[in-house]
Structure 1
Amino acid sequence: MANFVLVAGARLGSWAWDDVVPHLRTAGHGVHPLTLSGLAEKQGVPAGQQTHVQDIVDEVERRDLRDVILVGHSYSGVPSGQAAGRIGDRLAHLVFLDSSIPADGEPFVSAWPDGGATVRASIAENGGFWPVAPAAHFEGHGLTDEQIARIVGRSTPHPGTTLTEPAMLGRPLGDLPATYIKCTLGDPEPSDDVAKLLTSECWRLMEMDTGHWPMFSQPRELARILLDVAGVGPSARAC
């Protein structure tokens, strides 16, 4: 039995995994969707990027989880990639779900085309938070109007310092057993930093023909891929 720790991207909470969790539990695995500090039901809790890293580490250690499949979506690939190196042999596999990846000494926003200037300005104009995205932000990602309304309606402003503080890697990402899941709708190729890591024998690439929020658009297919990672499917592998 694996233990899935699921961490959704910016502005989202554990609720984002509601359509995925039943498929994983039915297969007999432990499933632990996690809300990071400052978001959803944890709004008001002060948070920087290292707070989010510690949130993940604390979840694993508090529950004494072993054989952990750690899944980081979008922004949460950054704290998940750091936490994976800190939980030692509790980690079975790391999954980056159409996510950013941490670079030592660099903040999440550094990978943006303008170096993060637009995001930093938005955070400054909104009291230190990255505001909730409008419905138009989610168009073209294979989502229904109902799914978009659900995402927008339940999203919360994201603590800005988590996006602007630098990552601190304790272990090279290329040494970790990892799968990168690329959502190819509208953006078919992995970024250059991901492509470089995919040359590691510890990494593999899987693709989904959907947009950036597959836990909503294709939850059953996403669960199937995650079960494959856990070793249920024939193509699963670890480093």
Structure 2
Amino acid sequence: MADFVLVAGAWLGSWAWDEVVPPLRAAGHGTHPLTLSGLADRRGVAAGQQTHVQDIVDEVERGDLRNVVLVGHSYSGIPVGQAAERVGDRLRRVVFVDAEVPVDGGSFASGWWQGQEAFEAQLTDNGGHWPLGVADLDGQGLTDEHIARMVARCTPHPGATLTEPAVLTRPLGELPATYVKCLLDGPEPNPTVAKLLASDHWRLVTMATGHWPMFSAPADLARILLAEAS
């Protein structure tokens, strides 16, 4: 049996996995949905990029977890990818769900499609936080109920976690990893991920849904996670 550590992306907390956890538990696996510092019920806790990496490592070590499947969605792929190499032989696999991946010395902001300066201006305009962009939820397979829930429960994301650089000690392509591409958010992985998928240790899975499959297709996402843990 595996231990799933589930880490949702920007603005979200452990609550985002509520519909994914039951089928994983029903299959006999351990489930550990994690809220990162500064978000949801941990709002107000000071957090930088390395804080989030340590949150994940601490969850694994505190529970003495083994056969760990680290699941990182969206932004959280960056700290999950760093944590994966730090948990050593406890790791079974990493699953990146429509996620960013860490680049040594790079940050979420440095990879922003409009450029780092434009992204950091957003943070400055919002008191050092990144607010949920409701318009970004359109066309992602979400119902009105999904959107209302997200708007009600999402937390402005702490900016330092998005601007501090990632630290990798070995090539990410050496990790056993699966990348789940959600096709409504674009048909192809970004160039960084595409290069990693050339590794024999990585594989690609696609989902015909949007960027937040834990809401739009939780049963399908759970089936993929179960398959990747086998």
Question: Is TM-score (shorter-chain normalized) higher than 0.5?
Answer: yes
Task: Report the equivalent of 1:110.
Answer: 110
Task: Report the equivalent of 2:2.
Answer: 2
Q: Specify the SS of the correspondent of 2:6.
A: strand
- CA contact under 8 A between 1:86 and 1:170: conserved in structure 2? no
Task: Report the equivalent of 1:44.
Answer: 44
TM-score where L is the length of structure 2: 0.98
Task: Report the equivalent of 1:163.
Answer: 162
Q: Indicate the percent of aligned positions where both proteins have the same amino acid.
A: 67
Q: Which runs of structure 2 are paired with 1:18-97 in the superposition (5 Å)?
A: 18-97=18-97
- Name the CA distance, whole Å, in 2 between partners of 1:88 and 1:199: 23
Give the superposition deviation at 1:167: 0.3
What is the total number of aligned residue pairs between the two structures?
Answer: 230
| Segment drifting more, 166-175 vs 16-25 | 166-175
Task: Report the equivalent of 1:173.
Answer: 172
- CA contact under 8 A between 1:179 and 1:204: conserved in structure 2? yes
Q: Specify the SS of the correspondent of 2:28.
A: coil
- Name the CA distance, whole Å, in 1 between partners of 2:118 and 2:13: 24
- CA offsets 1:134-163 (integer angstroms, 9 cap, x no match): 2x2201000100001111110001000100
- CA contact under 8 A between 1:133 and 1:152: conserved in structure 2? no
- Name the CA distance, whole Å, in 1 between partners of 2:165 and 2:115: 13
Find out whether 1:150 has 2:153 as its counterpart.
Answer: no
Q: Specify the SS of the correspondent of 2:101.
A: coil
- Name the CA distance, whole Å, in 2 between partners of 1:109 and 1:198: 23
- Name the CA distance, whole Å, in 2 between partners of 1:109 and 1:10: 13
- Name the CA distance, whole Å, in 1 between partners of 2:215 and 2:168: 30
Q: Specify the SS of the correspondent of 1:4.
A: strand
Structure 2: gaps of 5 or more residues: none
- CA contact under 8 A between 2:108 and 2:162: conserved in structure 1? yes
1:131 aligned partner, one-letter code: P
2:58 aligned partner, one-letter code: D
Task: Report the equivalent of 1:141.
Answer: 140
Task: Report the equivalent of 2:200.
Answer: 201
Structure 1: gaps of 5 or more residues: 232-239
- CA contact under 8 A between 1:6 and 1:70: conserved in structure 2? yes
